[in-house]
Structure 1
């Protein structure tokens, strides 16, 4: 069997496995964060969490598929490892960037909600006072 095909199979198994593992980890641990961002609305947090996981799968598995091909010729085991380390390293970097992007956006939404809460007065207005002239 051609070593290039072996490298492709190993790359696909590892790339898909890493994507699934990261997506499940982010989904499980990110649910609490989403519930906080969405002010305790559990159903909405679950729905948003599911949509984020689907988008994560689509983007990352699409990237893994697009990044599969290689023009380099692989003739020995050393070249298999070199090709795999390069490809899987890039996949891991893309997974990390996607994760940081999600956290950044959700943190911005969370901060906006906290700022909106702080802008409301702690006590509702009690009445209206006429301005004093000459003050």
Structure 2
């Protein structure tokens, strides 16, 4: 019973975080991409590809995460396990976000040098 409660809390929080962060990065990322690339059509295409990849990575992590949980036997474990899993998603999102920003910056830097 505790596993089901933990799954529901995790799925609700992970879904909200994934959708909200994806939406925010998509809308704000357009400006950043336009600043770096100066081609609106290419920026829109890149932004859509990044959003699709972002959702796929998160859905994959969420699915894998659900399959690796041990049996939860107390309400304290529900909170601890769920918090750890949600924290992992938030850290992964943060790392992916900064990798994308840094990669796009390096690509822009290389394009302007040539």
Counterpart in 2 of 1:68?
66
Structure 1 stretches of 4+ with a deviation exceeding 6 A read none
Q: Greater relative contact order: 1 or 2 (C-alpha under 8 angstroms, separation 6 or more)?
A: 2
- Which protein is richer in helix relative to its size? 2
Counterpart in 2 of 1:20?
19
**1:36–1:110 Cα contact (<8 Å) kept:** no
Please state whether the residue corresponding to 1:67 is helix, strand or coil: helix
**1:4–1:74 Cα contact (<8 Å) kept:** yes
Larger Cα-atom Rg:
1
In structure 2, how many angstroms separate the alpha carbons of the residues matched to 1:100 and 1:60?
A: 16
- Give 1:20 deviation, angstroms: 0.9
Please state whether the residue corresponding to 2:111 is helix, strand or coil: helix
**1:16–1:64 Cα contact (<8 Å) kept:** no
Give the count of matched residue pairs: 113
Instruction: Specify every segment of 5 or more residues in structure 1 that has no aligned partner in the other structure, as ranges.
Output: 117-135
Instruction: Specify every segment of 5 or more residues in structure 2 that has no aligned partner in the other structure, as ranges.
Output: none
Q: Per-residue CA shift, 1:59-93, capped at 9, x if unaligned?
A: 1111111111311x323321111011111111111
| Root-mean-square deviation over aligned CA pairs | 1.1
Counterpart in 1 of 2:96?
98
